[in-house]
Amino acid sequence: MTSATVSRLRAELADLHRELITWGLVAWTAGNVSARVLGADLFVIKPSGVSYAALTPESMVVCDLDGRLVEGELSPSSDTAAHAYVYRHMPEVGGVVHTHSTYATAWAARGEAIPCVLTAMADEFGGEIPAGPFALIGGDDIGKGIVATLAGHRSPAVLMRNHGVFTIGADATAAVKAAVMCEDVARTVHLSRQLGEPTGIAQSDVDSLHDRYRNVYGQH
Amino acid sequence: MTSATVSRLRAELADLHRELITWGLVAWTAGNVSARVLGADLFVIKPSGVSYAALTPESMVVCDLDGRLVEGELSPSSDTAAHAYVYRHMPEVGGVVHTHSTYATAWAARGEAIPCVLTAMADEFGGEIPAGPFALIGGDDIGKGIVATLAGHRSPAVLMRNHGVFTIGADATAAVKAAVMCEDVARTVHLSRQLGEPTGIAQSDVDSLHDRYRNVYGQH
Amino acid sequence: MTSATVSRLRAELADLHRELITWGLVAWTAGNVSARVLGADLFVIKPSGVSYAALTPESMVVCDLDGRLVEGELSPSSDTAAHAYVYRHMPEVGGVVHTHSTYATAWAARGEAIPCVLTAMADEFGGEIPAGPFALIGGDDIGKGIVATLAGHRSPAVLMRNHGVFTIGADATAAVKAAVMCEDVARTVHLSRQLGEPTGIAQSDVDSLHDRYRNVYGQH
Amino acid sequence: MTSATVSRLRAELADLHRELITWGLVAWTAGNVSARVLGADLFVIKPSGVSYAALTPESMVVCDLDGRLVEGELSPSSDTAAHAYVYRHMPEVGGVVHTHSTYATAWAARGEAIPCVLTAMADEFGGEIPAGPFALIGGDDIGKGIVATLAGHRSPAVLMRNHGVFTIGADATAAVKAAVMCEDVARTVHLSRQLGEPTGIAQSDVDSLHDRYRNVYGQH
């Protein structure tokens, strides 16, 4: 049932937006999470310009895959078009997150990918976290940049130039996890490079770590 | 009614001073928010040297536009003269915030403007965050420096040399938002520059982002 | 009685995992604490991929010293083999902690030991915090690297290359304390080196501080 | 009455140790606050090696001015001798704080004073925050270094080489405020210097700011 699914996703998104605060990924209202409604051409997303303290399951809004408001009393996030584009072009994606998290955005401001020099990066990102193009808000340019950049990488995160981070996942929780880990490794690699050059990890080791992580880690 | 307005502003300011703590903008008692009383030549401001934990709506004080205490049992903030000068000379301003937030003040200690290299800066500040002059406390020098510097910029924030940040807004919430975003972008641009040079954003893109943000973002 | 001991250790570990959050050592689920069951060839450890908010005494799992699950409904941490190796080869160790804490991991990404330039380092670590080898997860390589590196040092912490930190202690609390102090000194020495070179401490002073700390500090 | 005074100071110190946590000045148990008992040759201080969560008014201990335990069931802080030396030689001091706060200790590890480039530093410290000598714990060396260094400065804070910060105040709250402000300006000046050289403040302006702050600021 779609309406039960939507209710569950509204509650999940309210919780997940709190995770953005818990892990220090957002300032004021800048950051949003969405979740695809499985079995319907819809997704649920944060309303625009609402403070995290005021977010409730009820305040979330539902959009179609063109980003048009379908259900909810508030305007959808100003980043809705980018989320919609990802859902239209990446059917395997069930959740999308956008933040301006500090260290990741510092890399993005230089348009520079984060090199894979940590085993935790090999695990979660399977290699570097790539940098995408500069794109203006308001049309499909951001969405196109996200999809085109992710197509060439294992990484569920992309650093959009001069802007911030978009992450994807099989569901919204996985996308939030990718956003948390992206900021964590962005910070660690930044700090490591401040005092020298981190040593690389052999590609075969990166491959082996990524494969093991996807198939062994967690509860099965 | 002025007294109902003042009561509401006292409560708002108590909440907004908590936001300064939430977003990590202040240490000990260094930071203050004020709000103009619409329809009267008055503003409400934090008392001097009172800890944030001890601040209540009742502890806020009311001053006239020359910064003289009109209502309240405590002395007004030692920065009251600067707030008053802004209200006298910028009739469109309804709220003023002053902090020594860390990264913004690090730029201020070098007397250096923060270049606009993030779309979030183009949105909120419409360009660089400018640096104002060095000025001693105790007269109108700080206020004059704020107003003169802001006159030449779209930015609602100014970095006063060797001192800290002043932000303005249509109301106190908008000024607090500007203070939060100012520290956020000051930190991101600082970090980005530590490992290279952030790429610029074309002026036409800055203009377009700023225009869209002021006219489209949020709930209308 | 083993089962009473295990119950107590389960509760202790739930508390100690909260300390990892309190002191900012972990992101998402990346970090784990274990405790040896005295009088039995067993240890208690965090389950794999469970969020810190969801951790309870009951969710902890018990493994034998080969890292095989003995008691508990969830899979043990993916780092269990490394903990097990340490318990097998270091009989004096009663607790092990693993984190990717930010500053320590930044040193580890360069494969660089943290020099002993703080009296607090001399106290807790008795000299530098050494860097261990790169090792892949999944066998005994990480455990071997930890034990071989610690063998040549007084430090209860080792920085595993491109990976993160392992710490040991007489009990789990001592290992968590070492993890907290490791990140604290990793950060301070990192920052100090950013603006120049910290001055060294004479080896005789390091020795004297470490000896005093182990024999005088705390409640006896 | 001494016993009522001691009871009041015990409660104050329990609150003030919480401030060390609130403002991020301490890791694990490393940091302590003491308060002189006016009218008696005594001071109250934190017990050694007790976690901040476990500290209560009752757990504080009372020492004489030679640092010998007079009242309390736990051993006094291992830094008690340094506090005692300060109380013996600086009769105007009513409170002493010791921390290893991160940025201040980063300056201390280089043995480098923090230059006065912020108006907030001129206010609170009246000039630079000086660096004191390296000294071993266990005798009067640390206390001598503190007193000798502070004698030549207006600053209530001193950076002890390779060690950490000691601050003094007319009472324990003032000493805690100095510790909070010391870390705050240590961080801001550190960051400012990472990207260039902060501009200085003329000595006459430093003098004027410090004089005004001591005589005008706060509630009178």
- pLDDT tens column, B173-206: 999 999 999 999 999 999 999 999 999 999 999 9
Q: Is residue C90 part of a domain?
A: yes
Candidates D192, D194, D216, partner chain B, best to mutate (most B CBs within 10 A): D192
Number of structural domains in chain D: 1
Q: What is the mean pLDDT of residues A111-140?
A: 97
pLDDT at C1 over 60: no
Supply φ then ψ for residue B27, to 5 degrees.
-120, 135
Tell if the CB–CB gap between D205 and B136 is shorter than 8 Å. Answer: yes
Residues on A contacting C at a C-beta cutoff of 8 Å:
23, 117-120, 177, 180-181, 183-184, 187-189, 191-192, 194-199, 201, 205, 208-209, 212, 216-220
Selection from C161, C91, C96, C156 nearest residue C129 by Cα: C156
Asked whether the CA dihedral B77, B83, B84, B85 is positive or negative, the reply is: positive
Q: Is residue C220 part of a domain?
A: no
Residue B32 sits in a domain whose CATH number is 3.40.225.10
Question: Tokens 């040896």, residue?
Answer: C36
pLDDT at A220 over 80: no
pLDDT block averages, 10 residues each, chain B of length 220: 88 97 93 96 95 94 97 95 98 98 98 98 98 95 98 96 98 98 98 97 97 75
Tell if the CB–CB gap between B117 and A27 is shorter than 8 Å. Answer: no
Tell if the CB–CB gap between C105 and A218 is shorter than 8 Å. Answer: no
The pLDDT profile of chain D, 220 residues, written as one tens digit per residue, is 478 999 999 999 999 999 999 999 999 988 999 999 999 999 999 999 899 999 999 999 999 999 999 999 999 999 999 999 999 999 999 999 999 999 999 999 999 999 999 999 999 999 999 999 999 998 999 999 999 999 989 999 999 999 999 999 999 999 999 999 999 999 999 999 999 999 999 999 999 999 998 887 665 5
A partners (3+ CB pairs within 8 A) are B, C
Q: Which residues of A touch C109 (CB under 8 A)?
A: 117-118, 188-189, 192, 198-199
pLDDT at A1 over 80: no
Least confident of A150-164, A204-218, B158-172, D19-33: A204-218
Closest-approach residue (CA) in chain D for C25: D27
The predicted pLDDT at position A217 comes to 62
Strand order in the sheet with B61-64: B69-71, B61-64, B42-45, B31-37, B95-99, B164-169, B157-160, B131-132
Residue C25 — pLDDT band, cuts 50, 70, 90? very high
Model ipTM value:
0.96
Q: Considering chain A, what percentage of its residues have pLDDT values greater than 90?
A: 91
pLDDT digits (tens, 9 = 90+) for C89-143: 999 999 999 999 999 999 999 999 999 999 999 999 999 999 999 999 989 999 9
Residue C217 — pLDDT band, cuts 50, 70, 90? low
* Domain of residue C177, residue span: 2-215
Q: Which residues of B touch A163 (CB under 8 A)?
A: 118-120
Q: What is the DSSP letter of B42?
A: E
pLDDT digits (tens, 9 = 90+) for A22-80: 999 999 988 999 999 999 999 999 999 899 999 999 999 999 999 999 999 999 999 99
The predicted pLDDT at position C75 comes to 95
B partners (3+ CB pairs within 8 A) are A, D
Q: Which residues of B touch D19 (CB under 8 A)?
A: none
pLDDT at C79 over 90: yes
Strands B42-45 and B61-64: antiparallel
Residues on C contacting D at a C-beta cutoff of 8 Å:
23, 117-120, 177, 180-181, 183-184, 187-189, 191-192, 194-199, 201, 205, 208-209, 212, 216-220
Distance in Å, alpha carbon of B195 to nearest chain D alpha carbon: 10
The predicted pLDDT at position D138 comes to 85
Compare CB distances from A103 to B189, B191, B197 and report the shortest one's residue: B191
pLDDT at A152 over 90: no
Compare CB distances from D161 to C177, C180, C199 and report the shortest one's residue: C199
Q: Which residues of A touch B118 (CB under 8 A)?
A: 100, 105, 109, 162-163
Candidates A119, A173, A183, partner chain C, best to mutate (most C CBs within 10 A): A119
Which three-class secondary structure string do you get for chain C?
CHHHHHHHHHHHHHHHHHHHHHCCCCCCCCEEEEEEECCCCEEEECECCCCHHHCCHHHCEEEECCCCEEECCCCECCCHHHHHHHHHHCCCCCEEEEECCHHHHHHHHHCCCECCCCHHHHHHHCCCECEECCCCCCCCHHHHHHHHHHHCCCCCEEEECCCEEEEEECCHHHHHHHHHHHHHHHHHHHHHHHCCCCCCCCHHHHHHHHHHHHHHCCCC
Q: Which residues of B touch D177 (CB under 8 A)?
A: 28
